[in-house]
Structure formats: structure tokens, C-alpha cells
């Protein structure tokens, strides 16, 4: 069934507010399912903690210490694997449904066409916007979706996903930290920083020569009512991709994180990083949470230790920079592994090095602006 609006120009092609409307539609298209998934995961995790996780921990206590840590420790393959599923799977399903509806209706093409010129400013094309926004649900799935990007922009798109697309773990952990500190309003400047600095980061490291524009240049807004069967096929393809490709990587990274925890490697890295963080006036007590965020983005929840003593001892500006730095210093290990498998380990290392440099320089500048 086709709803044709041949007589009316597309609102997304309006000379004045068309792009703003397209940007708003894109944000709603992805923010709504991400928020719904966040509410669902927040509701289901306490129940999972009281039942399945508690039972697994009680059973694994009889095992040798090392095996117990690998199975049910803070980064245990079972406990953390379940958490990964709780927080990532609802986002994948709901975002997959939202994207399927947008693709089947023609709305996605209209949005990306309208935002083509804006995206070209930072070295991307309009269709790169979809994976970037998908990253706010799950970075791993977003990296897979970047396969639809053009060859000349995919690397820049993945770089922006790694830097500025706050996944569901990151969003939930950031909200928790800001709320525990009694400063929930910091979440909005935090997101704004991710968008602004992420755009600058992408533009600075984008290949020279710019991006050729190939917009669809629609003059009318043609909507097609999505067919349920077609949408379900798209959603099922996303679910299979998540279960067959993303979840095995999550499990493998859980094992790697458990080994790092057992060996004390992360504690040693935290000690080495303390002088660097001291230069930008970040308390050394926050070093471990920032370093653990490399393993997974909710590692920053370590700031809640000791009843949030660190949170009450820092200023609003310091807290903003701490959370920002934990979010942007590197992508999490799962995302880095996925980038390496998709685009090569050399490029993964290059993206990581550039991201670290941008993150540290921008965090220093932000600290100078907001004060200590």
C-alpha cells in the first residue's frame, strides 16, 4: 500500500528547516527505542540479580578461586555474559524494528538524503548516519551495519562510532553516576560533548579531499506503509547477526577481562595512568574506573565504590571530565575486537591511537574551561 504525496514537496527538502526536521526525525527514530530498551533492562536486571545471578554465584563458590572468578566474578563469563544480553539484546531488537520500519517506509532514505550535506562537512555521507545512531544502542552491531557505508567513508564512520556513539551500557552507567552524585543535569552537556567533539574528531582525521555528494535529491515525500512480514525478516536478520557474531565476542571478552582481573594487569595499568590523569587534575582514585571502562563502558560504575566517596569529593566540572574521559579514551574491548575483525588490526590500532589523543587533548581543554 503506497501513500503518495506527489502534490506536496517533501518537508525534509525545505530550504530553511528541512534539515532540522530530518535531524529531529532521526533522533526520535533511534532515541525512542533506546530509551524503551533502557527502561526494560533497568527493570529486568534487579530481578535477574536476585534469581539467576545469585544462584550462579552460590553454586560457583564451591569451585576453585580462579575458575569462580572467570565464571561468576565481576567480569565472569556467565554473570557478565548475562548482563551483556540483558542490556544489549533489547536495544538490538527495538532498534532493529525501528530501522526496519524506516527502511520499509522510505523514511530512512528521505532523512539521509536531507542530511547529506551536513554529514559531508565532517567527512561522512548521509547514509553513514544510520550506523552512527545505531551505536547509541550497541557499538558492535553499529560496526557491522557500517558495511552499508561507502568504501571511502566507512573507516571514518567506524571511528565516529567508537568515539561518540554512547552505547546502552555507557548511557546507563553515566546516568547512574550523575544521579548518584546528585547532578543528573550533567548528562545533557555530556551528550553534547560527545556530539561536538565526535564531529571535530571525525573531521580532523577524515581522509583529505572531502566526500563526494551523491544525494537522492527527492523532491516529493513518498511513504510506503511497511509490510509486517518484510519488517520481521529484517529484524530477524539483525537478531541472528547479534546472536551469531556479537554475543560470541562478548563472551570471549568476558574471559579476557577475567584473566586481566586475576593477573592484576588492570591494577598495574591504573597505577601507570595515575600521573597522566593528575596532569589534567583528575583524582587518582578515579584512575581505576577509567581504565576498567576500556574493558566495558559501565566500568565507570566503580566510582560508586565506598558509597560514592569519590563522587562527593569532586566538582561538577571534574565529574563531567571523568565520565567523558572514561567514555572516549578508547572504545570498549568488544568494539575494538569487532573493528579489528572487520577492518584489520592495524586500522583498529590507528583508530585507537587517534581516539586516545583526541580524548586526552579535549578533556584537558574542557577541564581548563569548566575549572577544577
Structure confidence at residue 198 (pLDDT): 94
- Does residue 167 lie in a domain region? yes
If DSSP codes are grouped into helix, strand and coil, which group holds residue 223?
strand
- Does residue 215 lie in a domain region? no
Structure confidence at residue 7 (pLDDT): 44
Question: Which backbone phi and psi does 223 adopt, to 5 degrees?
Answer: -110, 135
Half-sphere exposure of 8 (CA within 13 A, CB side): 9
d(CA 289, CA 78): 22
- Does residue 12 lie in a domain region? no
- Does residue 226 lie in a domain region? no
Q: Which three cell numbers stand for residue 11?
A: 518537508
What is the domain range of residue 199?
A: 18-206+234-370
* Closest to 213 in 3D by CA, of 159, 160, 152, 158: 152
- Does residue 42 lie in a domain region? yes
The domain tally of the chain equals: 1
Provide the whole-model pTM.
0.75
* Closest to 240 in 3D by CA, of 308, 144, 170: 144
Give the number of other Cβ atoms within 10 Å of residue 225's Cβ: 11
Structure confidence at residue 221 (pLDDT): 52
Residue where the block lists cell 527505542: 33
DSSP one-letter code for 233: H
- Does residue 4 lie in a domain region? no
Q: Could you read off the pLDDT tens digit of each residue along the chain, which spans 372 residues?
A: 444 444 456 677 767 677 888 888 888 887 788 778 878 877 887 888 888 888 888 888 888 888 888 888 766 777 767 776 777 788 778 888 888 888 888 888 788 888 888 888 888 888 888 888 878 878 888 898 898 888 889 999 999 999 998 887 788 778 778 877 888 889 889 989 999 999 999 999 987 655 554 544 454 556 677 888 888 898 888 788 778 877 787 777 677 777 877 887 777 777 777 777 777 778 877 877 788 788 778 777 777 666 567 788 888 888 999 999 999 999 988 899 899 999 999 999 999 999 999 999 999 999 888 866
Give the number of other Cβ atoms within 10 Å of residue 330's Cβ: 21
Q: Which three cell numbers stand for residue 360?
A: 586526552
* Closest to 26 in 3D by CA, of 92, 93, 89, 119: 119
Question: Which backbone phi and psi does 224 adopt, to 5 degrees?
Answer: -115, 125
Given a contact cutoff of 8 angstroms between Cβ atoms, the answer to whether 24 and 73 are in contact is no
- Does residue 214 lie in a domain region? no
Q: What angle do CA 204, 209, 212 make, to 5 degrees?
A: 110
Question: Which backbone phi and psi does 184 adopt, to 5 degrees?
Answer: -60, -25
- Does residue 109 lie in a domain region? yes
H/E element holding 102? helix 79-105
Amino acid at each position: 500500500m503506497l501513500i503518495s504525496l506527489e502534490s506536496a514537496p517533501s518537508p525534509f527538502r525545505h530550504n530553511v528547516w528541512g534539515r532540522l526536521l530530518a535531524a529531529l526525525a532521526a533522533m526520535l527514530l533511534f532515541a525512542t527505542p533506546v530509551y524503551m530498551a533502557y527502561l526494560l533492562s533497568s527493570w529486568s536486571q534487579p530481578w535477574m540479580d536476585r534469581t539467576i545471578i545469585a544462584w550462579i554465584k552460590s553454586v560457583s563458590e564451591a569451585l576453585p578461586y580462579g575458575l569462580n572468578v572467570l565464571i561468576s566474578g565481576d567480569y565472569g563469563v556467565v554473570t557478565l555474559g548475562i548482563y551483556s544480553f540483558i542490556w544489549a539484546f533489547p536495544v538490538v531488537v527495538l532498534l532493529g524494528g525501528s530501522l526496519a520500519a524506516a527502511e520499509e517506509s522510505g523514511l530512512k532514505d528521505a532523512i539521509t538524503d536531507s542530511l547529506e550535506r551536513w554529514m559531508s562537512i565532517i567527512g561522512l555521507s548521509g547514509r553513514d548516519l544510520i550506523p552512527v545512531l545505531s551505536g547509541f544502542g550497541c557499538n558492535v552491531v553499529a560496526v557491522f551495519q557500517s558495511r552499508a557505508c561507502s568504501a571511502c567513508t566507512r573507516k571514518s564512520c567506524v571511528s565516529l562510532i567508537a568515539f561518540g556513539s554512547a552505547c546502552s551500557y555507557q548511557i546507563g552507567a553515566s546516568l547512574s553516576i550523575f544521579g548518584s552524585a546528585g547532578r543528573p543535569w550533567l548528562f545533557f552537556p555530556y551528550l553534547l560533548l560527545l556530539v561536538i567533539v565526535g564531529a571535530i574528531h571525525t573531521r580532523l582525521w577524515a581522509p583529505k579531499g572531502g566526500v563526494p555528494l551523491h544525494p537522492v535529491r527527492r523532491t516529493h515525500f513518498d511513504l510506503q506503509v511497511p509490510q509486517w512480514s518484510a519488517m520481521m525478516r529484517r529484524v530477524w536478520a539483525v537478531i541472528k547477526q547479534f546472536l551469531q557474531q556479537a554475543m560470541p565476542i562478548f563472551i570471549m571478552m568476558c574471559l579476557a577481562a577475567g584473566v586481566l582481573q586475576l593477573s592484576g594487569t588492570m591494577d598495574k595499568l591504573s597505577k601507570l595512568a595515575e600521573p597522566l590523569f593528575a596532569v589534567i587534575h583528575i583524582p587518582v582514585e578515579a584512575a581505576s574506573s577509567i581504565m576498567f571502562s576500556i574493558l566495558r563502558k559501565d566500568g565507570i560504575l566503580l566510582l560508586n565504590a565506598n558509597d560514592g566517596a569519590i563522587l562527593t569529593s569532586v566538582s561538577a566540572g571534574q565529574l563531567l571530565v571523568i565520565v567523558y574521559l572514561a567514555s572516549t579514551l578508547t572504545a570498549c574491548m568488544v568494539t575494538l575486537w569487532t573493528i579489528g575483525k572487520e577492518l584489520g588490526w592495524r586500522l583498529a590500532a590507528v583508530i585507537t591511537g587517534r581516539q586516545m589523543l583526541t580524548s586526552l587533548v579535549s578533556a584537558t581543554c574542557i577541564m581548563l574551561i569548566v575549572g577544577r
